[in-house]
Structure 1
Amino acid sequence: MLVALLTLGTAPAPAALPADSSALEALRAADLRLGAIGYRLATANAPLCTDIAPVPGMVVHAIDQYAEGEQAAARTTFGFVTGVAVEAVVPGSPAAHAGVRADDSIVSVNGHPVPVTNGAGHVRTRDAVVALIDSQPVERPLTLVLRRDGVDRTTSIVPSPGCRTLFELRVGTAMDAVADGRLVQISSAFLDRLPDPQLAVVVAHELSHNILRHHARLDAAKVSRGLLRELGRNGRIHRMTEDDADRLGVHLLRNAGWDPQEAVRFWQGPGARIDGGIFHSRTHSSASDRARLIAAELAELPLGASKPYRPPVLATRDQPLR
C-alpha cells in the first residue's frame, strides 16, 4: 500500500479485516479501485511535487497485516509465499506492462530482499516495503524478483515517477479522509457511496494537502488539531488550508484527465448531502462556499492551459501559515 508504489493498502485494525475468501476479494477490488485513482493522480501530477518516488502501479500488502485467525484465508486468497505480495495491479500501468500479476510474491526490490514479517496484526512490514520502493532511484527501472507457482523470475519495470504518497483504504462506516504528509487515507464508506469521478475529487483534495505540505506547516504554526481546532486562529488557519487544498485539487483532477467541473458538481450535490465526517466542521468552509471557490479557481485558468498546469496556489507551500 504504498505511496509511491501506488502502493496502497489496508490498514485498519487487523481484526476489522474480513477473513473469508469472498470478503478478501471484495477488499482487493476496493484497494485496486482506490489505487488506480491514486496512481493516476500521483503520476500525472509528478511535475507539481517536490517529493518524488517510483510509482509502478502495484498494490502491495504483507501477511502480518492480517490477524492470526485470518492469515490462513489470506494465504489461500493472496498467496504470500514470501510474506509480501502484490494484491492488485493497475491496468495499463508500467507494472502491468512488465507482467506483474496479482498474487505474485515479492522476493526482492533492486537486489534488496523484502523485509521478514514480524507477527500478526502489524503494518510495519508493509511500511518497510513501501520505504524500500520509495528509496529507489526514480529515473531507473525498478527490478523485482517475483515468485509465482514456486518459480522465481526477474521483472524490470520502466521508470514511472510520481508524487510520494501512500494511498490507503481504511475499512469503516465513517465518511472520513485524512492526509498527514506521508499518506492519504480514505474510508471505505466513500467507495460505497461515490462513483470514481466523485471519489477522485476527495482523493485529489487529500493529496493536495500533502503536496502543499500542510501537515508540517500546521505543526510549525503550532495550530491545534485537538478540541480547540475549530476555534479562533486554529479554525481560521485550518479553513485556509482546506480552501487551498480545494484550489489545488481541481487542477490535480484536470491534469489527470478528469473533468475539473466534477469538483464543483460534487460540492453542489453529494458533498453537501454527506452527514458528519470531514465535511461538516468549522475547520471547513460550507459546501456551497467550496463549490463557489472551485468555480472561481477554474474561471482563472488560462485559456488552453497546458497539462500539467502549475496553479498559483503551489507558491504557498513554503510559506508559513499565519
Structure 2
Amino acid sequence: MRGIVLAALLAGWAGLATPLAAEPDIGGVDLDAERAAIARFQDADQRLQDVGWTIIRGNAEFCPRVIPSIGLQLQDLASYGSPKIARAALGFEGDFAVETAARGSPAALSGEFARNREIVALERFDPNEWPSGSRKDWRRLKRAHDHVDAMLAEHGGITVRFADGGEARVTPVDVCATRFELMGGGRRAVADGERVVIGIEFPAFSYEEAVFAGVVAHELAHNFLAHSEWLDRNKRKRRHVRRTEREADRLMPWLLANAGYDPEAAIRFMETWGRKHDGGLFRARTHDGWDERAEVIAAEIPLIRELMAREGKADWSAHFKRGIDPDKER
C-alpha cells in the first residue's frame, strides 16, 4: 500500500500543473498504514543513497566535477501528497527532517542524523519558514539541498540544529557531483546530467547490493560522461542514444570496482535484470540485447583487474577508451 501520503511523492518530478483538491481530513485515516508507506519509501531511499554515496565517493578522484558533501538527504512534508496526514503519522511539529544519512558519509558517521529527526535550522536559516505550496511542492526541498551545498562549498561545513535542541557541525568530503532521487512510483531509472532518478518499483531494488549498484553505476556513467549534453547537441536520434547506452554499459564495471564492488556485478545485473525485463519496458532499439550488453561489459574487466592489481584503482579518466568524442558532433 502506498497510502495517501505517498501517492504523489515524486520529488523533483511531480510538477504543479494539475490543480490540487483540498487535503483530506485525517479523521478515519489509518496512520499505521501511512507510517508503513513512508517507511517503505525511506527504506528504498536509504538503499539508493547508500549505494550512490559509495560509488560517487569511490570515484571522486576521477570525476570531471566534484563537490563537497556530507551525504545528507532531507525531507520536506510540503512535497508529500498530504502534509497534514504525514505530520500526524510522523508526529512532526514542522516540515523538515532527516530523510537519510548515506552509509559511511560524514552525516552518518556523526551519529546525529537519525531518520525523521526534525530539523529547525540549516546554518542560520530555518527552512520551515521558507514559503511553499500547500502540498506536492518539491521546490522548497530543492532549495534546502542547494543551500546545504552552498554552505559546504563556501564555509567548509554546516551546522544543523534539531527540534529536540541538539546541534551538529559536519565537515564534508569530496564526491562526484550528482544527486540521487527516489520516485514514489514507476519502474524507470534515468539520468539527466545532474541527477540519477529511480522509481521505487524498479526491479533491481530486490537484488543483492552489488547487483543493484550496477543500475546506479549505469545511470551515473551517463552523467559522468556528459551524455545528456552530447545528445542535446547532436539530437536524440536512435543511433546516438544507442551509442551513449553502450558507453555507459562499458563504464559500469569501472565505477563499481573503485567503489569496492566486484566489477563483474555489472554483468550479473545485466543477466539478472535482462533475462526477465529485456523484452519489456527497458528493451528498445536504442539498446542492445542484454546478452550483447553483458559481453560489452565483460570486455572491460581484464583491464580493470589489471589496474586494480597494479595501482589499487581503476582510473577511468586516464584508461577508459571513449566510444564518443564529447567535443565533436557526429
TM-score (norm 1): 0.82
Q: Which shifted more, 191-200 or 34-43?
A: 191-200
3-state DSSP of counterpart to 1:269: helix
Counterpart code for 1:124? R
Identity %: 32
Distance 2:150 2:50 in 1: 22
RMSD between superposed Cα atoms in Å: 2.6
1:27 to 41, 63, 70: 41
Deviations 1:140-169 (A, max 9, x none): 5422222233x2x43111222211212111
Aligned to 1:230: none
| CA distance in structure 1 between the partners assigned to 2:205 and 2:299 by the alignment | 30
Q: What is the CA distance between 1:80 and its match in structure 2?
A: 5.0
Counterpart check, 1:146 vs 2:161: yes
Shift of 1:46: 1.2
Corresponding residue SS for 1:156: strand
Q: 1:120 corresponds to which letter in structure 2?
A: R
Please point out which of 197, 202, 207 is paired with 1:185: 197
2:107 is the counterpart of 1:101: no
List per-residue Cα deviations over 1:225-247 (Å, max 9, x = no partner): xxxxxxxxx22211111111111
Say if 1:264 and 1:291, in contact at 8 Å, map to a contact too.
yes
- For the 8 Å contact 1:47–1:308, the answer to whether it is kept is no
Which of 126, 131, 150 matches 2:141?
126
Structure 2 unmatched runs, 5+: 1-8, 21-30
Distance 1:145 1:214, change over 3 A: same
Matched, 1:197 2:210: yes
Aligned residues: 296
Cα distance in 1 for residues equivalent to 2:314 and 2:96? 34
Q: Which runs of 5+ in 1 are unaligned?
A: 1-8, 225-233
1:211 touches 1:317 (CA, 8 Å); kept in 2?
Answer: no
Of residues 298, 312, 327 in structure 2, which corresponds to 1:306?
312
Q: Deviations over 1:170-199 (max 9, x none)?
A: 13343x211001111112122554232221
In the other structure, the counterpart of 2:178 is: 165
- Letter aligned with residue 185 of structure 1: V
Q: Say if 2:10 and 2:185, in contact at 8 Å, map to a contact too.
A: no
Amino acid across the alignment from 1:188: I
The 2-side partners of 1:51 and 1:312 are apart by: 17
Which residue of structure 2 aligns with residue 36 of structure 1?
Answer: 50
Q: Distance in 1 between matches of 2:211 and 2:37?
A: 24
Matched, 1:211 2:211: no
Matches within 5 A, 1:36-55: 36-55=50-69
Match for 2:108: what amino acid? A
Is 1:220 the counterpart of 2:233? The answer is: yes
Pairing partner for 1:271 from 262, 270, 274: 274
Tell me if the contact between 1:142 and 1:159 (Cα under 8 Å) persists in the aligned partners: yes
Deviation of 1:72 after TM superposition, in Å, equals: 2.7
Deviation at 1:63, TM superposition (A): 1.2
CA distance in 1, matches of 2:328, 2:125: 39
Question: In the TM superposition, what is the alpha-carbon distance from 1:43 to its structure 2 partner?
Answer: 1.2
Take 2:92 and 2:175, find their aligned partners in 1: how far apart are those partners? Answer: 27
Residues 86, 105 of structure 1: 8 Å contact kept? yes
Q: Aligned residue for 2:5?
A: none
Partner of 1:136: 151
TM normalised by structure 2 equals 0.80
Moved over 6 A (4+): none
User: Which whole-Å CA distance do the structure 2 matches of 1:91 and 1:211 have between them?
Assistant: 22
